[in-house]
Structure 1
């Protein structure tokens, strides 16, 4: 039942804390999670697949990176560790998740924010997301159409979607919207998609 609450702006479930331990970048990460956020007691398999299969940024990466639907911050934390010269925006609608991100990234160049708190002028060199498929197709499409156009001209988005949750159909839909979308990897039932800016304006499907 707790899984239903991570879409809430202010989860009503008790603030039961957990520690999630995982490896990335050849190091161990120990993050605080809590009830009422996505995958509260382990690194979600989709997120694990994304971090393992997509090419992470490195020490030379600059600009602004986005963790879209950040939860308690595993992607944002890894991005900040991988690219210390970049700024990472971690956005979510869940206030508890944002509190946890701030706790997990103290001293890092991470900005935890609600979607409407991100300045309109900010663009992104990279977007990373394990998008919330279960919010429904209409809301998911609106979410992606809000943020993917904010990629820099040479920017790239890395998305992970379960095959059984519509990974292949989402890739087709992105192409229909005019994005360059290709399957970068397939692992354990997940698709890792590489998405780049629309090929030209005005090509979005109705």
Structure 2
């Protein structure tokens, strides 16, 4: 396998291109490049997430965890223009593309940064994510345990995970960690998991 899309600074030669994100309520042309996740098309899991989840909260701070070149964050920003949207990733090339895509779309309520540069005091009314399953189970668990506790008490995270990549075991693990998790939808071998914030007294 070639260089992973979760490299911090991809060494793959740049070859910019664009893809179209077409949903019932929006149409965005997005710049992509080699060395990032799904540069040739909107990933099917991402599309299923965006077509399935309920509308994001109208206000507050919303998070796209593992934002890539920005399709999820830009959809959140379009659907909730009064909210503040943050997209985080480890891939600097993807973050630069996402920032340009926000500018091209005229969206000024969204920003992108490296995951380690996000304000640790931020709390999120919603988290949407097509999480990087291929980083490995231990790293994925660490990632989720870093960000899911930042949900507000009424906040919900929506994750899209392929069944054959462990969606059902991830659902059980999340419940075991004290995050009430249910399957919101199942389509084309993908599961949409709705994850509620921990309540006081749950496992930590």
TM-score (norm 2): 0.95
Whole-angstrom distance in 2 between the partners of 1:43 and 1:193:
20
The 8 Å contact of residues 178 and 200 in structure 1, kept in 2 or not, is answered as no
Where does structure 2 lack aligned partners over 5 or more consecutive residues?
none
1:115, distance to aligned residue in structure 2 (A)? 1.2
Does the CA contact (< 8 Å) of 1:181 and 1:195 recur in 2?
yes
- Which portions of structure 1, spanning 4 or more consecutive aligned residues, are displaced by more than 4 angstroms? none
The reply to whether residue 168 of structure 1 matches residue 171 of structure 2 is no
Map 1:184-195 onto structure 2 (within 5 A).
184-195=184-195
Superposition deviation, residue 114 in structure 1: 0.8
Q: Secondary structure at the match of 2:5?
A: helix
Distance 2:146 2:162 in 1: 22
Distance 1:115 1:32 in 2: 21
1:58-97 to structure 2, matched below 5 A, reads: 61-97=58-94
Query: SS at the partner of 2:67?
Result: coil
When normalised by structure 1's length, the TM-score is 0.94
RMSD between aligned alpha carbons? 1.2
Distance 1:55 1:202, change over 3 A: closer
Q: Does structure 2 conserve the Cα–Cα contact (< 8 Å) formed by 1:182 and 1:194?
A: yes
Residue 26 of structure 1 and its aligned partner are, at CA, apart by 2.4
**Counterpart in the other structure of 1:136:** 136
Aligned pair 1:117/2:123, yes or no? no
CA distance in 2, matches of 1:161, 1:202: 24
Offset from partner CA, 1:127-178 (integer Å, 9 cap, x none): 0000000000000000000000000010010000000000000000000001
- Structure 1 match to 2:179: 179
